[in-house]
């Protein structure tokens, strides 16, 4: 009989802390490098540390709270704020502007300092990652005001994707809403969300963006939100059934002959509540 390799004793700490809403995995790795995270009183030196849960972990000396049910907020990010928890240049951040009674949250992607509009915030790092992955195909929709001249014909090639300075950008849907004396308003939809993608692809066809507002991210819309206004989304399982049905999918993958409690009762007991 062949010995089975030992199973990993837990998960990487960055993944656990992202799921707990402390920060994104990359940000957690930076926090470890800065000596801000400890386990059982010992400052961590590597993000490869494996843990089973957040017990005994502190960030800046503060214990990490138990993971709560996933929550998601829509936030209208105004121009002039950076989407980071700490900015080395001392610029104002999104997270400094949030209400004091907000739990620790991470952003779903980013908006650069000169962009505004819909920014999704969540206390669940796993949910943030799910929404960010290009493979899941979430549309990001923007309204862009740009200077220059363009027609439907000049914008059409963007639909097939473009390469700019060695970087390949996926399909971009761009439609002109108004065009007056060289100033255009366009609706632009992308799926990847690379750094400054909308600005770069429009510049590629001769347009200079001077205002950029994100109005949609997947099933979530900016709607009537005003700058710095925040609104929590309810019934997340209705908007994101693929994410919240993952535990049930795992249950179905159990090998044939698995003996356990009644399946319906088991699923009802463990169904994630929002």
pLDDT digits (tens, 9 = 90+) for 64-93: 877 678 899 999 999 999 998 888 899 999
List the CATH number of the domain containing 114: 3.30.70.580
Integer Cα distance of 39 and 175 in angstroms:
52
- Final residue before a domain boundary, out of 38, 63, 88: 63
Domain count for the chain: 3
User: Do residue 270 and residue 146 come from a single domain?
Assistant: no
Residues pairing with 120 in the sheet: 74
Pair 109, 244 in one domain? yes
Q: How far apart are CA 164 and CA 100, in angstroms?
A: 42
57 and 164 in a single domain? The answer is no
Backbone torsions φ then ψ of 202, nearest 5 degrees: -75, -35
pLDDT over 70 at 5, yes or no: no
Does the residue 170 lie in any domain? yes
Range of the domain at 29: 11-63
Range 243-252 average pLDDT: 54
Task: Round to the nearest angstrom and report the end-to-end CA distance of the chain.
Answer: 45
Is the CB of residue 172 less than 8 Å from the CB of residue 188? yes
Q: Is the pLDDT of residue 228 over 60?
A: yes
Confidence class for position 19, pLDDT limits 50, 70, 90: confident
What confidence category does residue 244 fall into, taking pLDDT thresholds of 50, 70 and 90?
Answer: confident
Report pLDDT for 258: 46
Whether 224 is covered by a domain: the verdict is no
Final residue in a domain of this structure, among 168, 186, 217: 217
Q: What is the mean pLDDT of residues 49-58?
A: 89
As a whole number of angstroms, the distance between CA 208 and CA 184 comes to: 10
Kindly state the average pLDDT of the residues 126-142: 89
Q: Are residues 55 and 189 in the same domain?
A: no
CB 181 within 8 A of CB 193: no
Is 223 domain-assigned? no
How many Å is the maximal CA-CA distance in the chain?
Answer: 79
pLDDT score at 48: 87
Residue 166 or residue 19, greater confidence: 166
| Active-site residue set | 112
SS3 253: coil
Q: What is the pLDDT of residue 246?
A: 53
Pairing of strands 208-217, 220-221: antiparallel
Question: What CATH number does residue 42 fall under?
Answer: 3.10.290.10
| 227 within domain boundaries | no
Q: Are strands 208-217 and 116-122 parallel, antiparallel or unpaired?
A: parallel
Distance CA 250, CA 271 (A): 12
User: Which of 63, 88, 104 marks a domain boundary?
Assistant: 63
58 with 177, same domain? Answer: no
Residues 127, 242, single domain; the answer is: yes
pLDDT for 140 beyond 50: yes
């Amino acid at each position: 009989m062949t010995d089975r390799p030992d199973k990993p004793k837990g998960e990487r700490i960055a993944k656990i802390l992202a799921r707990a809403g402390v920060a994104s995995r990359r940000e957690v790795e930076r926090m470890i490098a800065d000596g801000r995270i400890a386990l059982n009183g010992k400052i961590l030196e590597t993000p490869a540390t494996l843990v089973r849960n957040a017990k005994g972990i502190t960030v800046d000396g503060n214990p990490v709270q138990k993971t709560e049910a996933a929550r998601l907020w829509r936030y209208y990010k105004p121009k002039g704020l950076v989407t980071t928890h700490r900015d080395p240049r001392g610029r104002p951040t999104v997270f400094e502007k949030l209400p004091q009674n907000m739990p620790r949250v991470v952003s779903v992607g980013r908006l650069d300092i000169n962009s505004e509009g819909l920014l999704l915030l969540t206390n669940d790092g796993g949910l943030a990652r799910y929404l960010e992955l290009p493979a899941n195909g979430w549309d990001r929709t923007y309204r862009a005001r740009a200077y220059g001249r363009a027609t439907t014909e000049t914008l059409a090639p963007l639909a097939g994707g473009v390469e700019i300075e060695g970087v390949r950008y996926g399909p971009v849907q761009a439609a002109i809403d108004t065009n007056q004396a060289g100033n255009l308003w366009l609706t632009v939809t992308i799926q990847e969300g690379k750094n400054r993608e909308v600005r770069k692809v429009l510049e590629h066809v001769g347009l200079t963006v001077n205002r950029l507002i994100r109005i949609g991210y997947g099933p979530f819309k900016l709607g009537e939100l005003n700058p710095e206004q925040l609104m929590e989304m309810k019934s997340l399982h209705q908007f994101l059934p693929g994410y919240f049905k993952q535990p049930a999918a795992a249950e179905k993958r159990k090998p044939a002959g698995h003996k356990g409690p009644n399946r319906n009762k088991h699923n009802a007991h463990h169904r994630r509540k929002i």
